[in-house]
């Protein structure tokens, strides 16, 4: 594998810092690393493979000469800066929602649909690649092998998403609310419209006229795009819960072909990037603390849904900052390097 020059935009944020760590532990040979952020993080020093790097103020001119740019700067900055990088010949892997549903922009989970980037793929030669929504990533990791085997007709998913999905301020808010609650003081709500400590909010992102939130529509539309199958019907309810790290999902699947729970377990156990933890009698099942700090997607509580002829229930958990964001982005770069796609 040749050596690569990599930039990270938004390097001072929670996901950006995770990208640096994941990249450091990846197999990608990096000869040059450039870190970019806003004035708030510029000047900060971070270590990478034994060397110290200083985060720079983002400057499009500094994108020149890079092979990859991993973006974790939010939708607005991505809309503005990603084209600047692409114009300079850089492959951009963007973690925001800005480009995910854009025609001509691949939405990629390498284990699921990385082949769309290959020479014979639908998006061969793409310079701008979108990282899916964190909740979508972990769901399609388990949907794809089942879809390939039994063809999925319908998915009903309810998510239980950690506050780190809203950023560092949300993590601090949960910490402060827990402390205030225990000490008998009034709690303050700044990030969320209601107290998140010891509560659950069926409200992630903005509601639209249909009563769904933008987060729910992301899961619906992104799943169909990644699976390349609009006939798969998806409905979602997304909930914010007082967990610091790790998203959980209850997924109900209806398939055309019958799959027993045992068959589903075998299929998923053989799926790269998926770990089956499913021994209820021993209290063994995935939890957010199971997934925290791990790159894999964990699945358990695999059982048949006896209310329909061909139904399955699954419980899926993953680290939203890793496989749900930073790890998947780095894996896309590694996949492209391994396949010599630059």
Active-site residues, by number, are 134, 247
172 alpha-carbon distance from chain centroid: 21
Q: Which of 110, 105, 113, 104 is nearest to 130 (CA)?
A: 105
**Between helices 214-227 and 134-150, what is the axis angle to 10°?**
40
Joined together, the tokens standing for residue 336 give 């492209």
Query: β-pairing, 45-48 with 51-54?
Result: antiparallel
How far apart, in whole angstroms, are the C-alpha atoms of residue 213 and residue 227?
A: 22
Q: How many CB atoms lie within 10 A of CB 264?
A: 26
Q: Show Cβ contacts of residue 228 under 8 Å, excluding neighbours closer than 6 positions.
A: 113, 116, 122
Q: Which of 178, 135, 194 is nearest to 159 (CA)?
A: 135
Residue 248 forms beta bridges with which residues?
Answer: 160, 317
What is the SS3 assignment for 84?
helix
What is the residue whose two structure tokens read 């990603």? 82
What angle is formed at CA 335 by the lines to CA 332 and CA 338, rounded to 5 degrees? 150
How far apart, in whole angstroms, are the C-alpha atoms of residue 123 and residue 84?
A: 20
End-to-end CA distance of the chain: 12
How far apart, in whole angstroms, are the C-alpha atoms of residue 38 and residue 85?
A: 17
Cα 45 to Cα 21, 33, 69, 238, 260, distances in angstroms: 14, 13, 19, 36, 52
How far apart, in whole angstroms, are the C-alpha atoms of residue 11 and residue 13?
A: 6
């Amino acid at each position: 594998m040749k050596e690569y020059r990599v930039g990270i935009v938004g390097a001072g944020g929670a996901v950006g810092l995770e990208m640096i760590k994941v990249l450091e532990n990846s197999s990608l040979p990096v000869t040059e690393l450039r870190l970019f952020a806003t004035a708030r993080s510029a000047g900060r020093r971070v270590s990478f493979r034994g060397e110290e790097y200083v985060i720079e103020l983002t400057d499009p001119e500094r994108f020149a000469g890079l092979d990859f740019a991993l973006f974790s700067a939010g939708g607005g900055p991505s809309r503005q800066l990603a084209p600047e990088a692409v114009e300079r010949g850089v492959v951009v892997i963007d973690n925001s929602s800005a480009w995910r549903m854009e025609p001509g922009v691949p939405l990629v989970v390498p284990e699921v649909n990385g082949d769309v980037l290959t020479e014979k793929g639908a998006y061969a030669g793409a310079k701008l690649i979108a990282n899916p929504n964190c909740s979508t990533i972990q769901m399609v990791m388990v949907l794809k092998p089942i879809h390939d085997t039994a063809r999925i007709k319908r998915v009903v998913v309810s998510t239980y998403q950690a506050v780190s999905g809203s950023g560092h301020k949300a993590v601090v808010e949960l910490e402060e609310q827990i402390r205030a609650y225990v000490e008998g003081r009034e709690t303050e709500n700044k990030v969320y419209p209601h107290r998140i400590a010891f509560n659950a909010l069926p409200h992630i992102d903005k509601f639209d006229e249909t009563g769904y939130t933008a987060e729910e529509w992301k899961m619906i539309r992104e799943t169909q795009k990644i699976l390349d199958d609009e006939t798969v019907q998806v409905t979602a309810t997304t909930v914010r819960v007082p967990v610091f790290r790790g998203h959980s999902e209850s997924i109900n699947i209806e398939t055309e072909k019958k799959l027993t729970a045992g068959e589903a377990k075998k299929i998923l156990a053989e799926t790269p990037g998926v770990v089956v933890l499913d021994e209820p009698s021993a209290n063994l099942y995935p939890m957010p603390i199971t997934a925290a700090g791990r790159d894999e997607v964990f699945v358990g509580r695999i059982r048949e849904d006896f209310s329909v002829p061909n139904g399955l229930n699954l419980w899926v958990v993953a680290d939203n900052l890793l496989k749900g964001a930073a790890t998947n982005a780095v894996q896309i770069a590694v996949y492209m390097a391994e396949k010599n796609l630059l």
